[in-house]
Structure 1
Amino acid sequence: MLTIQNLYKKFGSLVAVNNLSLAVAPGETVVIMGPSGCGKSTTIRTINRLIEPDSGSIVFDGRDITQLREDELRKVRKRIGYVFQHFNLINRLSAIENVMLGLVMGGQAKEEAYDKALAAMTKVGMEQLQDHKPEQLSGGQQQRVGIARALAFEPELMLWDEPTASLDPMLVREVLVVMEELAKYRAATMLVVTHEIAFALHVADRIVLMEKGTVVESGIPSQVFVNPASHVGRQYKELIEYQLNTSARTLAGKCIA
């Protein structure tokens, strides 16, 4: 499905991605994690060339994306859904019009685009709010519209760039539930950049840990978080243990009270 080889990207003197290699199998849900600034978002943005890599190859379904002409790249992007950190909705359009826009601009008839947009809105539980403007929706609802916008193209690969990063903590769960449902039914291969440990534990087929622009560990969640081989993995294990111990102490205190 997707094979990245020796990916390299530099911004000025900063090496953001350093000879990174990664393969994702069809139907697989891969979660990329690591400390802020480790190159996670840069990596995922190079896949559809929102950021142009300096070198390396990104092979999707047998074609190297880095070598595509602009017209070829536009066609491939229709097969790759992308959910951003920020919602990027057009305020003057309704929710369903935001979802339809890319389809109509791509040449689909409005009636067909509406049907596909409504089906995508239904998948994320937003069909009842299809006529609402973005300002009438909560942050979580706006992000679900953003997800529907990506799903409307019926992509083979879904890229998620920290989709809960801009949300109030109270709204994160509603977006994660949608992501979990999509992962469960494997409607598309998923590559997810996130800091949400619980989501990664519950949904990921494989965890990829990054540090300083490269992959330092990769494996199933129970391996990476229980018996880590990398420094970053050990940090995540300590964080999980701390959270579990804190929850246990809080529960014990409530029981005593």
Structure 2
Amino acid sequence: MLTIENLYKSFGKLVAVNDFNLHVKEGETAVLMGPSGCGKSTMIRMINRLIEPDSGTICVSGTEVTKLDLEGLRRVRKRIGFVFQQFNLVGRLTAVENVMLGLVMDGIPRDAAYDKAMKALEKVGLEKRAQHKSAEMSGGQQQRVGIARALAFEPDLMLWDEPTASLDPILVREVLVIMEDLAKYRASSMLVVTHEISFAIHVADRIVLMDKGSIVEEGMPEDVFGHPASHIGQQYKELIEYQQITNARTLNSKNIA
């Protein structure tokens, strides 16, 4: 489905992604994690060439993205949904108009685009907010509109670049629930960049850990977080154990009270 080989990207003397190799199977949910600045966002943005790689190959369903001209890239991008950290909604448009926008610009008749947009909004639980503008919605709802916009093209591959990073902690859960539901239906392959450990544990078929631009470990969540083979994996394991101890102490305190 998605095959990345020997991907490399530098910004001046800074090497952001170095000899990156990854294969995501059809219907698989792979979660990419690692410390801030390790190259996760740069890597995922190279898949549809929002950032141009210096070298390496990227193939989506057999199409080598790195060799496409602008027209070919435009066609393949329709098969790749991308959810950004920022919502990137047009403030003067309603939710359904924001979701329709890309479809109409792609030549789909407005009535058909409206139907597709409404179906996408239903998938994220916002059909009743279809006529609301950005200012009338919470951050979580705005991000769900962004997800619907990506789903409207019925993509083969969904890319998520830290979709909860811009949200208040209280709103994070509503977006994660939508992501979990989409992963369960397996309508498309998913590659998710996130710091949300609980999401990764419950949803990922495979965890991929990055450090300094390269993959340092990958495997099933229970293996990577339970029996890590890398320093980064060990740090995640210790963090999970700390959270479990903290949660247990909080629960005991409530029971005593």
In the other structure, the counterpart of 1:197 is 197
Partner of 1:38: 38
AA aligned opposite 2:83:
V
Cα displacement string for residues 108-144 of structure 1 (whole angstroms, at most 9, x for unaligned residues):
0000000000000000000000000001000000000
CA RMSD of aligned residues (A): 0.5
Deviations 1:34-88 (A, max 9, x none): 0000000001000000000000000111111010000000000000000000000
Q: Aligned residue pairs: how many?
A: 257
Structure 1 gaps of 5+ residues are none
Q: Secondary structure at the match of 1:187?
A: coil
CA distance in 2, matches of 1:183, 1:224: 20
Task: Tell me the CA shift for residue 95 of structure 1.
Answer: 0.5
Deviation at 1:230? 0.3
Structure-to-structure mapping, 1:102-113, within 5 angstroms: 102-113=102-113
* TM-score for the superposition, normalised by structure 2: 0.99
User: What stretches of structure 2 of length at least 5 have no aligned partner?
Assistant: none
- The alignment partner of 1:88 has SS state of coil
Give the Å deviation of 1:255: 1.6
| Structure 1 residue aligned with 2:253 | 253
Per-residue CA shift, 1:140-180, capped at 9, x if unaligned?
A: 00000000000000000000000000000000000000000
- Deviation, structure 1 residue 184: 0.3
Alignment partners' CA distance in 1, 2:163 and 2:253: 34
Matched position secondary structure for 1:27: coil
Identity %: 70
Amino acid at match of 1:142: Q
| Structure 1: 4+ residue segments shifted above 3 A | none
Task: Work out the CA distance in 2 between the residues paired with 1:94 and 1:32.
Answer: 32
| TM-score relative to the length of structure 1 | 0.99
Q: Secondary structure at the match of 1:218?
A: strand
2:121 maps to: 121
Distance in 2 between residues matched to 1:255 and 1:132, nearest whole Å: 43
Q: What is the rounded CA distance, in whole Å, between the counterparts of 1:115 and 1:151 in structure 2?
A: 13
Match of residue 63 from structure 1:
63
| Alignment partner of 1:138 is 2:138 | yes
Question: 2:52: which partner in 1?
Answer: 52
